[in-house]
Structure 1
Amino acid sequence: MAKRILLADDSPVIQTLSKKIFSGQGYHIKGIKSGTKVIEEIEKNDYDVIILDIILPGADGMQLAKQIRELSDSKKANMPIIAISGNYKNYAKSDFDDVGINEYLIKPLDYDALVNAVKKYTS
């Protein structure tokens, strides 16, 4: 069964490229562009990993990561989170650790690194 990825990013370029790359590798990927829909989407559907932009319309990725970790469903609460951000200099590694982010990658995205990160958490 295909591993499921939730991609939360408001960039049409990242959405399009990620869908092409991950679909081509046999993943099922759902993209959402609004931070306000992330929790709702996770509560309704199961995912193996979430790729989460730190700066999203309607929500802060750091806050979203924290909310995911506090979900009552432990499987969903422990889902791997890969954060992506062009604004990483505002954060230290400990900031990501504190909200339960498993890994973070810097934009512009290195898709090889992103694919490897997803494989690491879904294999």
Structure 2
Amino acid sequence: MKLILIADDDPSIRSLLRHVLTGEGYRVAEAKDGEEAAALLRETTADLAVVDVMMPRMDGLALCGHIRELYDIPIILLTAREGLTDKEKGYMSGTDDYMTKPFEPRELLFRIKALFRRYSRSSSDRIALNGVVIDRQTYEVTAGDEVLLLPLKEFELLAQLAQYPGRVFTREDLIALVWGADYEGDSRTVDVHIKRLRERFERRQDDFTIRTVRSVGYKLEVTSP
């Protein structure tokens, strides 16, 4: 079930969006300003963000740029401003779509579904981490001239982290995404598989590293060339 982040300082807008999105089967996380939204993204895995432009502390344009820098998720900006210059600022900040208030909730749903389709089609089957390439069609990992065949769960865990470099995943996120929501083991399984991946790619730290985020989970960082 996809999780949508709503960042808006207007509680009535958050309430409306919560009602509409949960009615369509989405999960919702809410933030009343940009800083709170950024903190939520560090703790959970959102699939799309609906962001108001005018917010305290960190406004929507700054939040949009922050999301685009760290996460590969679609963004829809909401604003009461409909001038061309305002739209230009939104798209320059990295938004995928732009809606002016007041908006029709059904149209927002159409746009959300269209963005999910677009991102699904554009996701690559090959993920390059400098000299390490993950092929999700053949389940092979190429490290330089060496082709590695990892155990399935190790491969899926590595591919999940590598698909979103810089994004922090909790152990619970990774259990749900890799092992499935009905998995009956505990989250220490993730720690064991992370340890094996680190050992396996110990000599490839010039390509990427898997970092522990204390008390939260893990993230993969691509090493700058």
Question: If the length of structure 1 is used for normalisation, what is the TM-score?
Answer: 0.87
Q: Which residue of 2 aligns with 1:98?
A: 92
Give me the CA root mean square deviation. Answer: 1.5
Rounded to whole Å, the distance in 2 between the matches of 1:104 and 1:70 is: 19
Q: Which residue of 2 aligns with 1:87?
A: 81
Specify the code of the residue in structure 1 equivalent to 2:73.
M
Specify the code of the residue in structure 1 equivalent to 2:100.
I
**Larger RCO: Structure 1 or Structure 2 (Cα < 8 Å, ≥ 6 residues apart)?**
1
Q: Which residue of 2 aligns with 1:37?
A: 36
User: Unpaired segments of 5 or more residues in structure 2?
Assistant: 118-225
Among 86, 95, 107, the residue aligned to 1:113: 107
Q: Which residue of 2 aligns with 1:74?
A: none
Q: Is the 8 A contact 1:83 1:104 kept in 2?
A: yes
Rounded to whole Å, the distance in 2 between the matches of 1:4 and 1:15 is: 14
Rounded to whole Å, the distance in 2 between the matches of 1:114 and 1:40 is: 25
4+ runs of 1 displaced by more than 6 Å? none
Specify the code of the residue in structure 2 equivalent to 1:49.
L
Among 72, 89, 96, the residue aligned to 1:78: 72
Percent identity, aligned pairs only?
29
Do residues 8 (structure 1) and 7 (structure 2) align?
Answer: yes
Kindly state the Cα deviation for residue 94 of structure 1 after the two structures are TM-superposed: 3.0
Q: Which residue of 1 aligns with 2:22?
A: 23
Specify the code of the residue in structure 1 equivalent to 2:59.
D
| Number of residue pairs aligned between Structure 1 and Structure 2 | 117
**SS at structure 1 position matched to 2:95:** coil
Inter-CA distance 80–10: structure 2 relative to 1 (3 Å threshold): same
Rounded to whole Å, the distance in 2 between the matches of 1:105 and 1:118 is: 11
Specify the code of the residue in structure 2 equivalent to 1:103.
D
Kindly state the Cα deviation for residue 93 of structure 1 after the two structures are TM-superposed: 3.6
**SS at structure 2 position matched to 1:56:** coil
Kindly state the Cα deviation for residue 92 of structure 1 after the two structures are TM-superposed: 4.2
Deviations 1:24-62 (A, max 9, x none): 110001111122111111121111100000011211111
